[in-house]
Amino acid sequence: MRFQAGWEAAVKKLAVLLLIALAASLGGCITFLTDITVRGDGSGTMVQTITMNPEQLKASMEGIAKQMGATTTGSKEGAKKEPEKKAAEEPFKVDELKGKAVDLGPGVTFVSAEKIDTKTAAGVRVTYAFRDINQLAVNPKPEAAMGAAGAGASSKDALRFRFERKPGGNAVLTIVMARPDRPPAEEKAAAKPPAPPVSPEIEAQQAEMMKQMFRGLHMGMAVEVEGKVVKSNSPYVEGSKVTLMDIDFDRLLSDKANMKALNKKMEGATGDDEKMMEALKGIKGIKITTAPEISIEFAPE
């Protein structure tokens, strides 16, 4: 019973990580980074980098091709299926990337898509341009990169923006964060027994399981302004760049002490996204802003 209870605790903690990444179906291994550049008039560009481990990407695409019924070209049926197989081997199609611009907001246009093909990463770097950041909506989570959720306004996880010029000439950009899910009031009120102690052996198995599931998973989002940042309520300001989120699971899971600190802070946070986000603050490998709005005042160039 104690062994079972230990694993139940492990599953609860793993569920928390799943909420952070929302990418368990991707088997980890995905990098999804969003970098937004804003000019003094509120226009700018957004660059999204989407990559996966080449071997895992190949395996995923082969699985898709198999599900589509793709076969070799040695038969008439195989010849018919070959276009489907080719399509399955190209996960980031230009037409689909162009189509995402509509969901990102009015006035957003597709600029380019640069293929990434190295020994360690395969994917694409796509650039969009926007005329008015007030119209932009962005879902920064991995499922948006893979087409499993809306890229922008159609997603409840989308971040939105407000931009205005002050009389003195400075510009103020406000990033409105998506509101985290909260558990029902009755669920929050219910007393939860403390998690049973976990043996070192089970703890080691938990850590290894999480390493395998989330290996290579990295998600991040940053805003860079063309000018000098005057002030911001974000704790992550470097020059003209403000990091909104950066979660690097390889770094997070590589340090046992770091994992223990995370597990301790996560106690009582399962099921409450807001508490979970607060628990993540200060953990090595994670930069995350919990304020509902991030304000950046800057002097445009």
DSSP string across 129-170: EES-GGG-EE--SHHHHTTSS-SSTTSTT-EEEEEEE-TTS-
Q: Cβ neighbours of residue 162 under 8 Å, at least 6 residues apart?
A: 134, 173, 174, 176
86 is a domain residue: no
**CA nearest 90: which of 120, 113, 119?**
113
Concatenating the DSSP letter of every residue in 226-289 gives SEEEEEES-S-EETTEEEEEEEEHHHHHT-HHHHHHHHHHHTTTTT-HHHHHHHHTT-TTEEE-
- Whether residue 82 is contained in a domain is answered as no
Q: Would you state the pLDDT for residue 160? A: 97
Angstrom distance (rounded) from CA 221 to CA 19: 17
63 half-sphere exposure, CB direction, 13 A CA radius:
7
What burial class does residue 173 get, using C-beta atoms within 10 Å of its C-beta: 0-12 exposed, 13-18 middle, 19+ buried? buried
**Residue 24 within any structural domain of the chain:** yes
Does 80 reside within a domain?
no
The verdict on residue 22 lying in a domain is: yes
pLDDT score, position 92: 76
- Rounded to two decimals, the pTM is 0.72
Q: Give the integer Cα–Cα distance in Å for 2 and 294.
A: 44
Q: What is the pLDDT of residue 281?
A: 66
List the structure tokens of 127: 């650039």
The Cα 233–Cα 289 span in angstroms is 10
For residue 224, tell me if it sits in a domain: yes
Q: Which tokens hold the place of 32? A: 């999804």
Q: Does residue 13 fall inside a structural domain?
A: yes
Range(s) of the domain holding residue 119: 2-54+99-300
Whether 61 is covered by a domain: the verdict is: no
Enter the tokens of residue 102: 């509509």
Q: Number of structural domains, the chain? A: 1
- Token readout for 126 is 């796509």
pLDDT digits (tens, 9 = 90+) for 212-241: 556 667 889 999 999 999 999 999 999 999
What pLDDT score does 26 carry?
Answer: 44
- DSSP state for residue 26 in the 8-state scheme: G
pLDDT tens string, the chain, 301 residues long: the values are 333 343 334 333 433 344 344 444 444 578 899 999 999 999 999 999 998 877 666 665 565 556 555 544 444 444 444 544 444 456 678 999 999 999 999 999 999 999 998 888 888 999 999 999 999 999 988 788 877 789 999 999 899 999 999 999 999 999 998 876 555 555 545 545 555 666 777 666 666 665 655 666 788 999 999 999 999 999 999 999 999 989 887 777 777 776 666 666 666 555 555 666 666 666 777 888 878 999 999 999 9
Q: Tell which residue, 31, 30, 40, 32, has the closest CA to residue 224.
A: 40
pLDDT at 41: 97
